[in-house]
Amino acid sequence: MPALTLKVIVERLNAQGLSAQLSGNAGDEIRRVASLTGAGEGDITFLVNSRFKKDLCSTNAAAVIVTAEDADAVPTNAIVVENPHVAYAHVAAWLYSDNDFLPGVHSTATVDPTSTVHARARVDANCVIEAGVVIAAGCHIGPGCVMGKNTVLGEDTRLVANVTLCHGTQIGRRNLLHPGVVIGADGFGLANNKGEWLKVPQVGKVVLGDDVEVGANSTIDRGAIGDTVIGNGVKLDNLIQIGHNVRIGAHTAIAACTAVAGSAIIGEHCAIGGCVGIVGHLEITDNVTITGMSHVSRAIGKPGVYSSGTPLEENAAWHRNFIRLKQLDDMARRLKKLEKRLAASEHLDETKK
């Protein structure tokens, strides 16, 4: 793990446009990241939530990343930025970089002679690289991965372990695919033939842009005819299902256990909570937030925050409310009759005047 001086860290943050300022000893070295309460010598931490400000004055960290508002309360070196969480993310990435791996192909890996593995790439044990595969410089293919025919990996992409890329999958640069990810399996394409399901060949592929992250055991299906496309900077959590021909715009983030049905289009800079279900063949515009456990059954054409579902409550109260919910239609009809009677009565009173 590399050690970085605070001087180097501040210089790198400024190179990222974060306007960082250092208060303290520029020569102190940072080796690890840690929490405010768990940090010690050589550790760097950060403060975002004011609830944890009570821990700031007693931290033993070598440095703390804070906003200008909290800088005076830091008992050690302080790096002052507008967004400490973003700065921390950069620092953690530098300290825990995977770029120092040794290139080469493990003796137990199977690589088709028609494939191209860059001299600065690494292929670990028990991998299978089929015909026509292209693996660019800086890629790290973890143990047990399978790359189907004519798949392509862009520079500095990492498949952590047991990742499967089915034939024709195209992966951009600096992608991170966690264990168990499957990209390019057949979509759920079926035709009903007099009550029996007939499989429809899925002849498209999956295209991932640059800087995409896909969480453990998530799946992205290949297109039925055209392609399934995931834009630059998209972040997918664990256990997510993306159906065939779905398109997800750049820098959208989706939390765990969400399912997106086929041919749905999700815009850029969206944030979708966990366990959301999105119906197929609809479109969600840019800058939409959907809270967890929501069911999206219609298009969303206006940016904003959307929710659905029933919040948790005591079981007895939930049963009472559910019974009332089933009575809403009858109550609405009765209310309409009462409104008509009231209007007729008011009209009669007016005619008597």
Give the single-character DSSP code of 255.
-
Beta-ladder partners of 63: 44, 77
| Location of structure tokens 């033939």 | 193
The answer to whether the CB of 214 falls within 8 A of the CB of 176 is yes
Picking from 144, 114, 117, the residue whose alpha carbon sits closest to that of residue 130 is: 114
| Residues 270 and 287: beta-carbon distance below 8 Å | yes
- Exactly one of 90, 178, 244, 251 is catalytic; which is it? 244
Task: Tell me the β-bridge partners of 52.
Answer: none
From residue 278, alpha-carbon distances to 70, 272, 318 in Å are 41, 10, 25
| Nearest Cα residue to 179 out of 159, 196, 200, 158 | 159
269 annotated active-site: no
Which residue type occupies 99? N
Task: State the Cα–Cα distance between residues 230 and 102, nearest whole angstrom.
Answer: 30
Q: Name residue 51's amino acid.
A: R
Which helix (H) or strand (E) segment holds residue 312: the answer is none
Which residues carry out catalysis? 244
